[in-house]
Chain A
C-alpha cells in the first residue's frame, strides 16, 4: 500500500544525506570541474586546453585502461578467494565465526603505512616468499614479485578482503540454512547448490562487495606506488604528480574527472546487474 505521502516520506529519509552531499561534496566537485576549464596552471586563462592535452595523448588512454583493469583483476582475485571464505564462515559455529570475523577485519587494523612495508617484506627480492621458495628448491633465482602487477594485486587482495567479505557475510548469514539442506535432499550436488541457490541469493552482498573493492583498489594510491612501483602507472599517480609536484591543477582535475567518470560507469553497470539479480530473487 503506497500512498503519495508514503512516497514522499521515503524520499525524505535520504534528504539529510542529500543536503550534506550538496554542501560538502557536490560544491567542491563543481569547483574542481570549474578548475578544469583553465588553460594554464595559474588559472588565469579559461579554455579547454587541458582537456585537449589529456585526451589528446594516447598514453593516458592506456593509463585509464590499466587502472580499470587493475580494479577488475583485484575484484576477481578477492572474489575467488573471498567467496569460499564466506562460504566457510556461514558453516561455522557462532564461536568460530567470532574468531574468523576478527581475522577477516585484521587488515583494516594495519595502517596503510606499515601494511605496505609488510608487503615489501613478504614480496621483496629477499622477502618471505622468495626465501621460502629458494629453500624448498622450487626456484633458483629470486622471483620478481615486488614492483609487478601480480604482486600489487596480491597485496591489494589483502586490504580489500574485508570490503568484500563484510557485505557478503552480512547477506549470506541471513540466508535460510534450510535452503541448502532442501537442495541437498532433492539430490543437488554441492556445486549445483552453490551456483543455483546460494550464489544468486547472495548477489546483493556480492555486488556491494565488488563495488567497494573496485572503487577502493582503483584509487589506492599508496599501495599502487609503493608496492607496484612507479613503472606501473595508474591514474592516481598522474593526479598526484600533477596536483602535488608540478601544481598543474587544471590537468590534475581533468584526470580526476576522467577517473571518476570511468569508475562510475563500471559501477553503474555492476549496480544494474545487481538490481536485476536481486529483482529476480524477489520476483
Chain B
C-alpha cells in the first residue's frame, strides 16, 4: 500500500529525472530525420554502422514523413529538432522558401566525384529516386495499360485514389489530368473525369490507409511508388507494379542540413557515408532496393531502371511550378470529392 508521502517523493524523484532536458548532441553524433519503413530499416542497418566505423560518429535516426519534418523544423525555428532532412521535391521547395536549410557545399564530400553532378546543388544532395506508377492486384484484375484505364471498367470500380496531400498522389493526379488535356499546372481535367465516375470508385482514402485498404480488398488498383509495391510484394500481398504507357513518374529524394544545426561537420560526414560506394551498393540490394546515387555502383537487374541515365526517360515534374498551386488543388479536391 502506498502512503501519500511515498508517492509524492517518488513522483518528485521520477519527475525530476525526466524533466531534465536530454543533452543535445553529445560529441560525435548527428541526428537525421528518415522516412519510416524501408528507409529507416536500411539506414539503421547499413549507414549507421558505416558512419560509426569510418568517422566514429553516432547516427541517431528519427522516423518522420517529409511534411512532418518541415512542420517540426518550422515550428522549432532556429532550434531544429534534428540536423538533417530527407525530403521529396515538394516539401524541399517549401523548406527552401521557409529558410530551413543551411547552404550546402558539395566539395566538402570526399565522394562527391562519384555522384552524378546534377545530384548536388547549393541546398543538398540527392541520394535516391522514387518511381510512381500503378499498382494492381493481378489475381483480381487484368493488367491496366496506363492512367486512362484507371477511369474505365473493370478498373474504376476497384480503384482507390488519394488526393494532393502526398507527392505520389499529386504526381499521379497530374498524369491523369494530362491524359485529358491538362498539364503540370492544370489538374482540373482530372477532377472533372474523376467526378464523372466518382460513384463507382471503390475508395477515396487517406494515403496512410491505402496499403491496408488494398490488402483487405477494399480496392484492387491504386497509384503508388515502386518501393511500397516491392515491400508489400515481399510480404506476400498480391500486388504488381505497372509502368504506365505514358511513362512512370520519377522524383528525387534529397538530404539537407537543418539551419541552426550544431553538428554541421558530422552532417557532411553522414552524407559522405550515405553516397559512398559500399553503402550505396548495399542499399541497392534486397530487401531495400534503392536506386543508387553513385556512378560506380551497378544497378541490379530487378530495379525498374538499368542506369541512372534512364532517369531522363521518366516523367519529371517542375515542383517550383506545382508547389504554389497545391493549396488550391487540395481545397478543390475536398470540394469536388465531398459527399
Contact = CB atoms under 8 A, between A and B. Distances in A.
Contact of B206 (A225, A238, A243): A225
B203 A246 contact: no
Among B206, B334, B339, which residue has the most Cβ atoms of chain A within 10 A? B206
B71 A226 contact: no
Interface string A205-226: 0000000000000000000011
Nearest to B98: A42
A230 interface: yes
Contact of A231 (B164, B212, B330, B337): B337
B335 interface: yes
A181 interface: no
A124 interface: yes
Nearest to A113: B208
A229 B334 contact: no
B230 interface: no
Contacts of B164: 245
Nearest to B202: A125
Given A125-B217, A125-B218, A146-B218, A116 B209 contact: yes
B206 A124 contact: no
A230 B205 contact: yes
Contacts of B74: 247
A225 B206 CA distance: 6
B61 interface: no
A241 B165 contact: yes
A247 B92 CA distance: 13
B71 A247 contact: yes
A270 interface: no
B94 interface: yes
A167 interface: no
Contact of B204 (A117, A125, A229): A229
Interface residues of B, number: 32
B327 A248 contact: yes
A230 B210 CA distance: 12
Interface in B271-307: none
A124 B205 CA distance: 13
A127 interface: yes
Contacts of A149: 339
| Most chain A beta carbons < 10 A, residue from B71, B164, B204, B205 | B205
B263 interface: no
Contacts of B94: 247
B109 interface: no
B216 interface: yes
Contacts of B212: 116-117, 120, 226
Interface in B168-206: 202-206
A10 to B, nearest CB: 20
Contact of B218 (A120, A231, A237): A120
Contacts of B25: none
B339 A232 contact: yes
A147 interface: yes
B42 interface: no
A91 interface: no
B67 A244 contact: yes
Nearest to A230: B204
A233 interface: yes
23 contacts: A42-B98, A59-B335, A116-B212, A117-B212, A120-B216, A121-B216, A124-B213, A125-B202, A125-B218, A146-B218, A225-B206, A226-B209, A226-B212, A230-B205, A230-B334, A231-B204, A233-B338, A237-B334, A241-B330, A244-B68, A245-B67, A245-B326, A247-B71
Given A147-B204, A245-B326, 15 more contacts: A59-B334, A59-B335, A120-B209, A120-B212, A120-B213, A124-B218, A125-B202, A125-B217, A229-B205, A230-B206, A231-B337, A231-B338, A246-B330, A247-B74, A248-B327
Interface of A: 42, 59, 62, 116-117, 120-121, 124-127, 146-147, 149, 225-226, 229-233, 237-238, 241, 243-248
Interface of B: 67-68, 70-71, 74, 94, 97-98, 162-165, 202-206, 208-209, 212-213, 216-218, 326-327, 330, 334-335, 337-339
10 tightest A-B CB contacts, nearest first: A246-B327, A225-B206, A126-B217, A226-B209, A124-B218, A231-B204, A245-B165, A124-B216, A244-B67, A125-B218
